[in-house]
């Protein structure tokens, strides 16, 4: 299914799930945000910045512009509040971008060059799906780091999201 409403609902889920972890990370003891951990993303701070970096990279591709990044672990914001505000700005940009696409534009292929130099072409709907799936993949690393704190990670299954939306 490549329609906008489906992509927007997945985006809403992705934002909800990520925001749960922002709230949980914000409530951790001092020093936990940037503490180095045995994880591929090194810290909560690096990982939360990574979400934003990857979305900026792919939005640049979607818009036919250079992304300007040379590493996936770029830290754009050292403070959690500033990072979350920038992430919410990006969420609005992605939402507006999706809303503005026609069905034909969703199907159009876009050329890309990743930070590591790999090149390819994907239809826009697959790039947007990738952004959402990328978030789900890396939230698993956040859950792992929560276990290292130790803290119990927040449940983030789609049925939990649906129930939370319905109960609001």
Q: CA nearest 63: which of 101, 22, 89? A: 101
pTM above 0.85, yes or no: yes
Q: Compute how many other C-beta atoms are within 10 angstroms of the C-beta atom of residue 58.
A: 21
pLDDT digit string, tens, across residues 22-33: 999 999 999 999
Mean pLDDT of 89-113: 97
Mean pLDDT of 5-20: 96
The domain tally of the chain equals 1
Say whether pLDDT at 1 is over 80. Answer: no
Mean pLDDT of 121-134: 95
Two tokens, residue 162 = 């649906």
Domain of 158: which CATH number? 1.20.120.450
3-class DSSP assignment, residue 17: helix
∠ CA 44-122-92, nearest 5°, is 50
pLDDT digit string, tens, across residues 40-90: 999 999 999 999 999 999 999 999 999 999 999 999 999 999 999 999 999
Task: Decide if 49 contacts 82 (C-beta within 8 A).
Answer: no
Two tokens, residue 89 = 């700005």
Q: Write out the residue range of the structural domain in which residue 76 sits.
A: 4-167
Question: How many alpha carbons lie under 13 Å from residue 121 in its C-beta half-sphere?
Answer: 5
- Work out the end-to-end distance of the chain between its first and last CA atoms, rounded to an integer number of angstroms: 27
């Amino acid at each position: 299914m490549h329609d906008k409403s489906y992509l927007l609902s997945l985006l809403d889920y992705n934002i909800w799930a990520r925001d749960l972890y922002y709230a949980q990370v914000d409530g951790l003891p001092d020093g936990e945000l940037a503490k180095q951990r045995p994880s591929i993303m090194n810290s909560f701070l690096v990982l939360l910045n990574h979400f934003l970096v990857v979305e900026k990279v792919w939005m640049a591709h979607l818009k036919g512009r250079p992304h300007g990044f040379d590493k996936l672990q770029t830290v754009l914001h050292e403070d959690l509040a500033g990072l979350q505000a920038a992430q919410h700005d990006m969420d609005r940009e992605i939402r507006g971008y999706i809303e503005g696409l026609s069905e034909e534009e969703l199907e159009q292929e876009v050329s890309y060059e990743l930070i590591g130099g790999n090149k390819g072409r994907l239809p826009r709907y697959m790039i947007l799906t990738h952004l959402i799936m990328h978030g789900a993949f890396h939230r698993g690393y956040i859950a792992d780091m929560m276990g290292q704190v130790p803290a119990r990670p927040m449940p983030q299954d789609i049925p939990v999201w649906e129930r939370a939306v319905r109960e609001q």
